[in-house]
């Protein structure tokens, strides 16, 4: 049994990670400032004897004793991270410094939840970990993209300078139960619009692609990385290489939800990537990991969650 700190633990991914870590017999300290995380996501854990929840903002130092740290704290959808872009950058950069400082002091292994957004609007397809990316440093998405890139820099400098035990994963689009209904992400957008009987909004012409990883697969990859051999730091892509256009995704959602929603088109936002697909060769070879849940099956679970949430 380990005592494990999860920052951003009441968020979409963090709450599922807490579930998994508890199921493996660990003690879990969930830290969140509830900016995008929701207590509803961890309500079922609050009475668990090995679970503790703490309200805390990672931009301030934290003094606890744990064996491992999963650093997930940061708003991850454009609607939320663009609401207060300065705070988003602070959360990624100062939050990383604080968690790395904690890990250094207590000699804990620390995992950084980075993102496929470090690749920006890529010129290489699919994206492998040795691609440095194409990111606009002054655009409206930069607070998140560059914040996460700087966090990776800090992790590797702490590793080189202080021999800190680090793991860095780059998360590609993930979906599933407990997504925030108003997070502006494409899967939740399409499902909520379809369940509400509204038209489904596609930005651009619908030809841009994304790869969608079901949350259970993502969490299994995250835990596998934390447990990987000491000399493997990453970064490693964790995502589903199945690639779908926005139009294909909208049609799949409509087929499962039914109803009378139609598809409408609006202009593409600034710096929105045209393609996104992970090369997961490294995850396969180093972690023995690959996703198992097909998009249709994952959508079925996610739609059922939103249907109960919206009473639709």
Q: Is the pLDDT of residue 79 over 90?
A: no
8 A C-beta contact, residue 66 and residue 5 = yes
Q: pLDDT digits over 211-264, tens only? A: 999 999 999 999 999 999 999 999 999 999 999 999 999 999 999 998 889 999
Query: Which pLDDT value is given to residue 19?
Result: 98
Which of 119, 144, 175, 214 is the catalytic position?
A: 144
In whole angstroms, give the CA distance from residue 203 to residue 175: 19
**Which residues, other chains included, contact 231 with Cβ-Cβ below 8 Å and sequence gap of 6+?**
none
Instruction: Name the CATH topology of 3-180+214-240+277-292.
Output: Rossmann fold (3.40.50)
**pLDDT confidence of 97, banded at 50, 70, 90?**
very high
112 within 8 A of 71, measured Cβ to Cβ:
yes
Q: Which residues neighbour 18 within 8 Å (Cβ) at sequence distance 6 or greater?
A: 6, 9, 28, 30, 42, 45, 51
Under 8 Å CB-to-CB from 41, ≥6 apart: which residues? Answer: 10, 11, 12, 14, 15, 178
Mean pLDDT score, 61-69: 98
pTM metric for this prediction? 0.94
Residues 6 or more apart in contact with residue 223 via CB below 8 angstroms:
17, 20, 21, 24
Q: For residue 225, give the nearest of 281, 156, 286, 279 by alpha carbon.
A: 286
- DSSP letters along 21-72, please? HHHTT-EEEEEE--SS--HHHHGGGTT-TTEEEEE--TTS------SEEEE-
In DSSP terms, 68 is beta-bridged to: 4, 109
Compute the distance between CA of residue 118 and CA of residue 126 in angstroms, rounded to an integer.
Answer: 14
Place of tokens 């139609």: 262
Strands 68-71 and 3-7: parallel
* 216: CB partners within 8 A, 6+ apart: 16, 176, 293
Please choose, from the candidates 209, 226, 217, the residue with its C-alpha nearest in 3D space to the C-alpha of residue 165. Answer: 226
pLDDT tens readout for residues 30-53: 999 999 999 999 999 999 999 999
Contacts 24+ apart (CB under 8 A), 231-235: 232/167, 232/286, 233/156, 233/159, 233/166, 233/167, 233/168, 234/129, 234/166, 234/167, 234/168, 234/169, 234/170, 235/114, 235/129, 235/152, 235/168, 235/169, 235/170
Average per-residue pLDDT for the chain: 94
Query: How high is the pLDDT of residue 167?
Result: 98
271 pLDDT more than 70: no
Domain ranges in the chain are: 3-180+214-240+277-292
214 is catalytic: no
């Amino acid at each position: 049994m380990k005592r494990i700190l999860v920052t951003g633990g009441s968020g979409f991914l963090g709450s599922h990670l807490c579930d998994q870590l508890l199921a493996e017999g660990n003690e879990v300290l969930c830290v969140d400032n509830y900016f995008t995380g929701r207590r509803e996501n961890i309500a079922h854990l609050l009475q668990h004897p090995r679970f503790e929840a703490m309200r805390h903002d990672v931009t301030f130092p934290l003094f606890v004793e744990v064996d491992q740290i999963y650093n997930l704290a940061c708003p991850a959808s454009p609607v939320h991270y663009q609401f207060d872009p300065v705070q988003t950058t602070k959360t990624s950069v100062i939050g990383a410094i604080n968690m790395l400082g904690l890990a250094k002091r207590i000699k804990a292994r620390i995992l950084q939840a980075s993102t496929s957004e470090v690749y920006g609007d890529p010129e290489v397809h699919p994206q492998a970990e040795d691609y440095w990316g194409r990111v606009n440093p002054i655009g409206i998405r930069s607070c998140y993209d560059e914040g996460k890139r700087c966090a990776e820099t800090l992790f590797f400098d702490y590793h080189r300078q202080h021999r800190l035990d680090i793991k860095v994963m780059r998360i590609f689009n993930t979906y599933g139960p407990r997504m925030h209904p108003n997070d502006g992400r494409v899967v939740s957008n399409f499902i909520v619009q379809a369940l509400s009987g509204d038209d489904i909004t596609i930005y651009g012409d619908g030809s841009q692609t994304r790869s969608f990883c079901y949350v259970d697969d993502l969490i299994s990859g995250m835990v596998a990385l934390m447990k990987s051999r000491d000399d493997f730091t990453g970064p490693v892509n964790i995502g589903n290489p199945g690639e779908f256009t926005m139009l294909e995704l909208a049609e799949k959602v409509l087929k499962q939800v039914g109803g009378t929603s139609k598809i409408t088109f609006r202009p593409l936002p600034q710096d929105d990537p045209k393609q996104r697909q992970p090369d997961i060769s490294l995850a396969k070879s180093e972690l023995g990991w690959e996703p198992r849940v097909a998009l249709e099956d994952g959508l079925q679970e996610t739609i059922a969650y939103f249907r109960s949430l919206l009473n639709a």
